Amino acid sequence: MSARDRSISLRADAVRRALRFLPALAAALQLGACASGSKPPEPMPLTPVVNILTVKQTWSHQIGPVPAWFRTATLPDAVVVASADGTVQRIDARTGSTAWSVRVAGGISAAAGSDGTFTAVVDKGNGVVSIGPSGQLLWRYQLPTSVLTPPTVVGGRIVVQGADQRLWAFDAADGKLLWRADNRAASLLVQQSGGMAVRGDTLMVGTALGRIDAYNLADGLPRWQATLARSRGVTEVERVVGITGEPALLGSMVCARAYQSAVGCVDADTGRVLWTREADGYTAVGMGDQEVVGTQADGEVQAYSATDGVPLWTNSQMKYRNLSAPLLVGRTVAVGDYRGYVSFLSTKDGSIVGRASTDGSAIATAPVVVGKTMVVVTVKGGVFAFVPD
């Protein structure tokens, strides 16, 4: 290898290392936060809120540090949470009681998926770990690549997406490899989680190429591909357009965000792109009956019509507060911020109608809802449940 080639290789490796756990880097560059001699914008202070909506904290837990790309798995009556140090717990959403708790040796790199019977995580040695209905460790399968995207568990199957974009499907009970799918990876991958969604017998997977790819869940055969964004720009960083976070599914529509470039919706049956809109952000979108909502890189909260993507409203009161992905619950939108506050916005006009606090550390993972209980998890590992009062 020539000196010039070694220099190029070293620079590429440095970029990859820099992006490994900094999902907001590209957005920050676009905002000018890293310009020479400049400082990142100051987070906007939260203003007092007249609580039209009040929420009551009903229980809390502590599980250990939780990376931003982890996911809280939801079940009809419970949530499954996991921490980087290896703790996995199933918690009753209403009472906060722990149904089971297990420790995965060596820590966890991707979590968590569950269908209520089986739960799956990926450990820091790149091993898929299946957990049984009582919290017992069932089996471990060694993967040839790292994993950040939480596994998807449905109908006794575990599906895992590697950082290199390959897919593996396993029998959750015995670890038998059911199928594998190889996908072409982008030249530069932002090391944050993507996501998968399931509708009937169709598995929809966000890819690093700005696409949602659909597969037959039973055998892994491809069904359709839908492109939400295409690479553009000059640098490798500017050309990153991977689908980020779990796609939002409602009825026959699936919606997602392409990193720093677009949000859009697709017909889940045919793969026909229904609409796309330019949008600079890096968190998943939330979806309700009439709207799709995203938190942008600068902290604005933007709502779009679910039908055609026409912008409905924008809230700019929480700029630069590093907002989580949004959760649409009832007629409100819940978003967490870097200081552990959860703000509730009206889906009608985006006005803030309520606020709750946690432990002061960032809420990076998207809030979830089970029944009437909303659960948020902080990076310090605080698990907090709230119910409208």
pLDDT of residue 239: 60
What's the whole-model pTM score? 0.88
| One-letter amino acid for residue 90 of the chain | R
Domains of the chain: 1-41 (no CATH), 44-66+282-389 (2.130.10.10)
Asked whether the beta carbons of 95 and 60 are under 8 A apart, the reply is no
Partners of 31 in the β-ladder: none
Phi/psi of residue 324, nearest 5 degrees: -75, 175
Burial class (CB in 10 A: 0-12, 13-18, 19+), 98: middle
Q: Write out the E strands in 238-340.
A: 243-250, 253-258, 262-267, 273-278, 286-287, 291-295, 301-305, 311-315, 327-329, 332-336
> Strand 78-82 relative to strand 291-295: parallel, antiparallel, unpaired?
unpaired
Q: Quote the tokens at residue 355.
A: 């606020």
- Report the half-sphere exposure of 65 (CA within 13 A, side-chain side): 6
Supply the DSSP symbol for 373. Answer: E
Run of H or E residues at 178: strand 177-181
**Per-residue pLDDT tens listing for the chain (389 residues):** 444 443 334 333 433 333 343 444 433 333 444 444 578 899 999 999 988 999 999 999 999 999 999 999 999 999 999 999 999 999 999 999 999 999 999 999 999 999 999 999 999 999 999 999 999 999 999 999 999 999 999 999 999 999 999 999 999 999 999 999 987 665 555 556 789 999 999 999 999 889 999 999 999 999 999 999 887 766 655 667 789 999 999 999 999 999 889 999 999 999 999 999 999 999 999 999 999 999 999 999 999 999 999 999 999 999 999 999 999 998 999 999 999 999 999 999 999 999 999 999 999 999 999 999 999 999 999 999 999 87
Q: Which residues neighbour 110 within 8 Å (Cβ) at sequence distance 6 or greater? A: 69, 70, 121, 122, 147, 148, 149, 150, 151, 160, 193
Length of the chain: 389
